[in-house]
Amino acid sequence: IVTIMVADSANAQFIVAHRGASFVAPENTISAFKRAWELNADAIEGDFYVTKDNQIACIHDKTTKRTAPGSPELKVADSTLKQLQQLDVGSWKDPQYAGERIPTLQDVLGTVPEGKQIFVEIKCGVEILPLMQPILEHSGLKDDQIAIICFDKQVVTEARKLMPQYRVNWLTSYKNGKPTIASIVETLQRTKASGLGSKGDLSVIDEAFVEKINQSGGQLHVWTVNDPAQARRFAELGVVSITTDKPDVIRESIRIL
Ligand code: G3P
Ligand code: CA
């Protein structure tokens, strides 16, 4: 009799493709999101702003300078979607992606397969929320396929009130010992956030940190982890998800824990 050991995946971390599979494809483009699904990511993460004509565009920076370097720089909030979509946001990464356009929130939601998730990061203020709500609610996705994430505490608070059906995670990073774990827990409680999206900083995140977040009732997610050894450490600590530019590499690195 041969016994085959199968790893228990019940508590495995889910893998979130940061700005899509952004190591190999231009970030925040349909190519990057489709590549993430091909690489078997459990979720994609994308960044969103409101345009001048009240559309929701998927782009990380306030302007197009970095991701459309060959064209005159546009400020996202001062440009229409049509103006933004005239730019090539693929060539800067690799000529094979020439002609890639800035997608809308609807376009990105439309790539999410059944059973997979999307982390929608809000990069602007609360003005996006009433525009975003009908788009998310009519996306055809189930409530548990969508999580909203944001650094801005006011956006987290208002998003939870307006769309209580979705998880809303507060994002934070660290500088000179701030924020402290006590103030993180206080923010999670005050904003009624569903969890913490934490910068993947192993000098901050240890057993005690994880225990405090768990005790607060929030889920702990980490970003952006591209190093297999670090990913293994976060998996051992029991984080809920790992956001990475390299979903295939990080999945493999934690597969046999
Ligand atoms: O998942 C959170 C992470 O994406 C926040 O950082 O700068 O890549 O948007 P950033
Ligand atoms: Ca992001």
Ligand 1 atom index nearest CA of 60: 9
Nearest CA to ligand 1 atom 4: 18
d(C-alpha 145, C-alpha 45), whole Å: 12
Residue-wise pLDDT tens digits, 146-157: 999 999 999 999
Q: Which pLDDT score is estimated for 193? A: 98
DSSP string, 173-222: --BTTBS-HHHHHHHHHHHT-SEEEEE--TTT-SHHHHHHHHHTT-EEEE
Could you tell me the domains of the chain? Answer: 14-254 (3.20.20.190)
Predicted ipTM beyond 0.90 = yes
Residue-wise pLDDT tens digits, 23-50: 999 999 999 999 999 999 999 999 999 9
d(C-alpha 247, C-alpha 17), whole Å: 6
Q: What percent of the chain is predicted at pLDDT more than 90?
A: 94
Torsion from C-alpha of 148, 152, 153, 155, nearest 10 degrees: -50
Q: Which pLDDT score is estimated for 11? A: 59
For residue 18, indicate whether it is catalytic: yes
Q: Which range, of 13-22, 100-109, 247-256, averages the lowest pLDDT? A: 247-256
The neighbouring-strand residues paired with 107 are: none
Torsion from C-alpha of 244, 59, 103, 157, nearest 10 degrees: 80
Ligand 1 atom index nearest CA of 221: 1
Candidates 13, 16, 17, 18; catalytic one:
18
Q: Which pLDDT score is estimated for 10? A: 46
Residue-wise pLDDT tens digits, 187-209: 999 999 999 999 999 999 999 99
- Does pLDDT of 65 surpass 60? yes
Ligand 1 atom index nearest CA of 151: 5
Q: What percent of the chain is predicted at pLDDT more than 70?
A: 95
Ligand 1, pocket residues at CB < 6 Å: 18, 45, 47, 60, 121, 149, 171, 197, 223-224, 243
Residue-wise pLDDT tens digits, 112-137: 999 999 999 999 999 999 999 999 99
HSE (side-chain half, CA atoms, 13 Å) at 10: 1
For residue 60, indicate whether it is catalytic: yes
Q: Which pLDDT score is estimated for 44? A: 98
The neighbouring-strand residues paired with 198 are: 172, 222
d(C-alpha 52, C-alpha 69), whole Å: 21
Q: Which range, of 5-19, 90-104, 113-127, 186-200, averages the lowest pLDDT? A: 5-19
Q: Which pLDDT score is estimated for 7? A: 40
Q: Which pLDDT score is estimated for 257? A: 63
Coil, strand or helix at 242: strand
